[in-house]
């Protein structure tokens, strides 16, 4: 499999720094954005395989970014992370096209496996 290009979009700097280090050590090509609007700009201008999005961020939420990704028919698969899980939100996110909807804190090594699965699915599509 080619190098997986991942964008992490989360306003929690410690989280993105930690996950970025783990993914980079595993050979992923990782970029980080600290808010939804700048994340969306990077997604539009980049060619990401997977986007890991925080649901609740100041300004543009992860759900709004997901909606724009789908509206623009961008190829990146989206994994949503939230600290405030709700079953209706999960169902709506998955119906809206998210690859996964996960509760924080999610085990980093399991998240790595999920990113790999998403990227493999995107390559086959």
In a domain, 117, yes or no: no
Judged on CB neighbours under 10 Å (0-12, 13-18, 19+), 77 is: buried
Comparing 122 with 120, which gets the higher pLDDT? Answer: 120
In a domain, 77, yes or no: yes
In a domain, 96, yes or no: no
| Number of structural domains in the chain | 1
Confidence of residue 2 (pLDDT cuts 50, 70, 90): low
In a domain, 112, yes or no: no
In a domain, 36, yes or no: yes
In a domain, 5, yes or no: no
Residue 68 tokens read as 């724009």
Confidence of residue 3 (pLDDT cuts 50, 70, 90): confident
Q: Is residue 111 within 8 Å of residue 103, measured between CB atoms?
A: no
In a domain, 111, yes or no: no
Backbone phi, psi, residue 29, to 5°: -95, 110
pLDDT at site 11: 93
User: What pTM was computed for the model?
Assistant: 0.91
Q: Is residue 9 within 8 Å of residue 39, measured between CB atoms?
A: yes
- Find the distance separating the first CA and the last CA of the chain, reported in whole Å: 14
Round to whole Å and give the CA distance between 55 and 82.
5
In a domain, 106, yes or no: no
pLDDT at site 124: 46
Least confident of 7-11, 78-82, 101-105: 101-105
- Residue 37: domain span: 10-50+61-88
């Amino acid at each position: 499999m080619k190098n997986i290009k991942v964008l992490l979009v989360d306003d929690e700097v410690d989280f993105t720094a930690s996950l970025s280090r783990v993914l980079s050590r595993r050979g992923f090509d990782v970029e980080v954005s600290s808010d939804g609007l700048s994340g969306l700009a990077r997604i539009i201008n980049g060619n990401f395989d997977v986007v890991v999005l925080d649901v609740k961020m100041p300004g543009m939420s992860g759900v709004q970014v997901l909606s724009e990704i789908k509206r623009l028919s961008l190829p990146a698969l989206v994994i949503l992370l939230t600290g405030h899980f709700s079953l209706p939100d999960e169902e709506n996110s998955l119906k809206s096209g998210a690859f996964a909807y996960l509760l924080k804190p999610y085990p980093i090594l399991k998240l790595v496996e999920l990113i790999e699965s998403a990227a493999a699915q995107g390559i086959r599509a």
